[in-house]
Structure 1
Amino acid sequence: MQTAWFSKPVAVSVGVTGSIHHLSNTQQAIDLLTTHWRDAGSPKHRSALRACQRATSGDVAPDVARAALVEAAREAHILIE
């Protein structure tokens, strides 16, 4: 497995304090999706996690995973645009 880098970081607000995280690669995204996700288990969350995992194994382009992550973050109301 390898870390797949996004063409542009994804900014999200996490936790009670709303600290801002800039996710630059699939490993950072997987960590957030598996440990601190507000709507864990939703279809978009599962899709983003699966896409990030597939990007780390080279099955999909990193920006496909990024797009799925953006959609999941938007659904969870944590995306900073």
Structure 2
Amino acid sequence: MISVGITGSIRNLSNTQQAIDLLTTHWRDSGSLKHQAALRACRRAMSGDVPPDIAREAFVDAAREAHILIE
């Protein structure tokens, strides 16, 4: 679960496409190295080049960096 937007609404992502959508449209710290790595990993997971767990780990790292991960 992550907190997005000005109001901090809670979103529960359940698949890689949702993660890509968030990374490309509503990310607070877009352009950071962790953001770029997460986006790359998610896209590679969608194409089957990397396991989903790798993409999830990269996404969680980027979400922590952007202070939007709810743990």
Bin the TM-score by the shorter chain.
over 0.9
Normalized per residue, the structure richer in helix is 2
Tell me if 1:49 matches 2:39: yes
**CA displacement, residues 31-68 of structure 1 (integer Å, 9 cap, x when unaligned):** 00000000000000000000000000000001110000
**CA displacement, residues 10-46 of structure 1 (integer Å, 9 cap, x when unaligned):** x100001100111111100000000000000000000
User: Which residue number in structure 1 is paired with residue 17 of structure 2?
Assistant: 27
Opposite residue 72 of structure 1, the aligned amino acid is A
Between the aligned partners of 1:23 and 1:68, the Cα distance in structure 2 is 14
RMSD (CA atoms): 0.4
User: Which residue number in structure 2 is paired with residue 17 of structure 1?
Assistant: 7
What TM-score comes out, normalization by structure 1 length?
A: 0.86
What TM-score comes out, normalization by structure 2 length?
A: 0.98
Between the aligned partners of 1:35 and 1:65, the Cα distance in structure 2 is 18
Identity %: 77
5+ residue gaps, structure 1, are 1-10
Provide runs of 4+ in structure 1 moved above 2 Å. Answer: none
5+ residue gaps, structure 2, are none
Normalized per residue, the structure richer in strand is 1
Aligned length: 71
Of the three residues 46, 60, 64, the one matched with 1:70 is 60
